[in-house]
Every structure is written in C-alpha cells, then in structure tokens.
Structure 1
C-alpha cells in the first residue's frame, strides 16, 4: 500500500472523517503567530491537504484569507458543503496549483506525511512570499495517559503497523524527518483535550488511514471490541481524549 493510496483512502470515509476527527486549540494558532512573527488576520494562507476543512475554518476565524488545496474528490465535496464561501482547488503538496510568491502562510494539518519533502519543501518555498512561513502539525498521542497509550498499541497491532515510540524525537530529529533541515524552524508542543461521545471517539478511530485500507469485517470486529472495552473505562459513554499537537514552523529566507 503506497502513501498516496493511503492518503486517498480518506475519500471512502469523508463524512465520518468530518464528524469524528478532532479540531485544534486556539493556543496552536497563537504559537503559529509567535513563531512566524506575523498576524493571521489579513494574511493570505493556503491550507494544503485541507480535507473537510477542520483547520481551514479555524484559520478563517482568525482573520486569514484562506485557499484550500485537497487531492480527494469526496473530501473536497465535504469541504464545499461545510465552507461554501472558501475557495478550494484539487491538488497536493508535491505540485501546488498556486502561483509563486502568493501566500504569507502555508499550513499542513495532519497532512505533511503524505508529501515527498524533496518536492513539497521546494514547492512551499516557491509559493511563499519572502518572510512567509510553512506550518505543519499533528494531533499526536498523549502517551502519559494510560488508556490512550494502551489503545494506541492495540490499534497498531490490529492494523499490522509498528506502534509510535512513546519518546518523542528530538527537535533536530523531528526537523530532519520532516525534510526541513537547512531552514529556520521553531518547534512547539500544545497539549489540549476534548470530551466526546463514545460513538464520535470510535468514528475518529475508524477514519484513520491504517483502518480504512483494511477489509470492512476486520475494521468492524476491532471497533465492536473497543466499544465494550471503553464502556468499562467510561461507563457514561463520554470519552475524555487528550492530544499533544506537535507543531513545526519553518520560515522562508
């Protein structure tokens, strides 16, 4: 299964993705402004791999003028239903369908890993204006919360992938892994939480690419077992989720 195939697998569950995926805290956008030394209000931003618009709407609420870039047809359809007044174009980070020096900010919320940094970094630099910023981030696992750590390990085992190490990579390693070596990069961690219904929590799990590429009976079996397990931890069927946003902001020279 190629990375591009997994990236496009979200199209099969676009509505589920929109309903279950977590958003991002206001503090994240404060960190972007601080790291980029700019205000989002009045900036020209491109949200790449925008999906159903979870990050796009938050950028817009902060006053940014946003254009979205999304490769998936169904995901773009969900985006248009949710944000009919925000322009969206089909494409991906390896070949941005945007003119050079047209943006103050380019963002990748949960989507940088679907690009080839050898192509997406030069593309970002081409599209950014001088002094502009590339911001990439992920909602990552809060490994210090026991039930979340244990669930992460169960999901990895079920999907046949290696669990993510509990120890986070150093700043230099994270920058290298993202392909941003040689740029001026700031890294921040933002911890936040939300309380959702058990159904929403399971919908979030089921919308992950590692699940979407599995056969439906295999996905279903895990989610049935996980529902019963979580009912013992959260008998009221309200799940307290904790995330740590890992943010990298690279400045264009």
Structure 2
C-alpha cells in the first residue's frame, strides 16, 4: 500500500462523526452512473475505492452490486466493517490498487479521487477494469448559488484562509480535480439535490471536513468559537432549527 497524503488520513480518528454527519447521495446519481456506464449495478463487480465509512458502498450494495471496498485508513475501514459486515474491505489506496488485472466492471471514487495522484490512479483503474468497464468519480459540492451557503463559505474562508474551506472538499471541487486527468473521454453530469437536517448535524458535517480536522477538530477553542458563531448565523436563516443543505453532485464517468 502506498502512503496517502496526511490530510487524506485526517478523517481516520473521526470516523464515527464522518459516518453520522456526512450527506449521502441522491438516487439520481446511481441512475446516471448506470446510464453513462451502459450497464446495471445489479450483479456488477464494483470496487469502491477510498470507501471511507461506506456511505457510497452501502448505496451500491443496496442496488445489488457485488462490492469490494478499498480504504487506506484503519479507523474508516473499521467503521465500514462495523456497519456493513457483509461487504469485504481491503486496505489500500487508489494509487496502487491491491486487485487483479481486469477484475472489475466498475470502479467508483465517491468523494475520494482528489486524494490520489491522477497520473498513478488513472492507469491503475484502467488496469483493474475489464474491457467495457467504467470508472465513476463523484463529489458533493455545496451549492454556492444559494445565498446562505455563499455567505457561510465566505466565513469559512475567512476562518481558514482564502484557499481553504469546508465546502466541497479542501477547496477542491470535482471539476478542478478532473482537470488534472491526462487524456479525456469523461462524460460529466451535474446533479442538484438537497437534504434537511438539524442544525447540530449540519455543524457536525462542517467539523468532519479535513479543513477542521487537520487543525485539531471541533474541540479546539478556535473551532468552538467558529461553530458557536455559525449556529447564530444559521438561526437567523432557519429559525425552526432545520437546515436545508443544498448540493451539486458532480459526476464523471469514463468507459474503458
């Protein structure tokens, strides 16, 4: 197993928080994966790379896919094993997949491709895919066209610095990550969606991002001050205490 970037492993000590607070994905996302991959998920041999706590793994499994999860972090892998005991998990990362050549119908990277070196990860994915197989990459990115989200993002960037945020992933959206790929051939879709959660869940979601975790997480004095102030901002927008989080799921699929 190659060594993932330290920031990629920052989630490991907060795996339970990540599993409880992070959003899932809309049903339309997997429908679109099937459309662009030109095959159903039911019965497909799927590798969920960078699986984390198994948020996407569970959805793939529920669609009838035969899923193998690949995850570098022991804490995240342990949380996945706890909640999805019937799904096999192997330790590894996308730069060097511990898998046989031409063994998968689909490889997915849910919120994970940007932690790889695309110059290594893309050839690895193509090696592991069977002819006609597909590589699917996707990200949830906070919808900055929504005024309250745009305002929150300004506050996040002011708190962390102009180049960092807890919206998207470490300030790197799917579109920017895809620009790092050599070649091309990816079909791309943007899928808006939303979820309604208590304010505590929204704040926990924010604090589960690496921008917070690499600075000590939500228990530091700086993080507590920011999250307490954010609770006040949210109360003025959502007086009933329920936050409507709005996302754009950015999807890209390459057929081998």
TM-score (norm 2): 0.91
d(CA) in 2 for partners of 1:220 and 1:94?
36
- Equivalent position of 1:34 in the other structure: 35
Q: Return closer, same or farther for 1:116/1:189 CA change in 2, 3 Å cut-off.
A: same
Distance in structure 2 (CA, Å) of the matches to 1:170 and 1:196: 24
Contact 1:153 1:163 in 2 (8 A): no
Query: Is the aligned partner of 1:7 residue 2:2?
Result: no
- Matched with 1:91 is 92
Match of 2:247 among 206, 228, 243: 243
Aligned to 1:81: 82
Shift of 1:175: 3.9
Residue 72 (structure 1) aligns with: 73
User: Which stretches of structure 1, 4 residues or longer, exceed 3 Å deviation after superposition?
Assistant: 168-171
Equivalent-residue separation in structure 2 for 1:110 and 1:34 (angstroms): 20
Which ranges of structure 2 fall in alignment gaps of 5 or more residues?
A: none
- What is the alpha-carbon distance in structure 2 between the residues aligned to residue 197 and residue 65 of structure 1? 34
SS in 2 for 1:244: strand
Q: Normalization by structure 1: what TM-score?
A: 0.92
**3-state SS of 2:5 partner:** helix
User: What does the per-residue CA deviation read over 1:105-134, in whole Å, with 9 as the maximum and x for residues that have no partner?
Assistant: 000000000000010001101100001100
- For 1:149-186, what per-residue CA distance to the aligned partner results, in whole angstroms no more than 9, with x for missing partners? 11112112212242689xx9997x76433x1x424210
Please, which of 218, 229, 232 is the counterpart of residue 233 of structure 2? 229
- Structure 1: gaps (5+ residues): none
CA–CA distance in structure 2, aligned partners of residues 183 and 132 of structure 1: 16
Give the alignment's Cα RMSD to 1 decimal: 2.2
Question: Does the 8 A contact of 2:94 with 2:124 survive in 1?
Answer: yes
Q: Does structure 1 conserve the Cα–Cα contact (< 8 Å) formed by 2:138 and 2:174? A: no
Number of the residue aligned with 2:222: 218
Contact kept, 8 Å, 1:159 with 1:214, in 2: the verdict is no
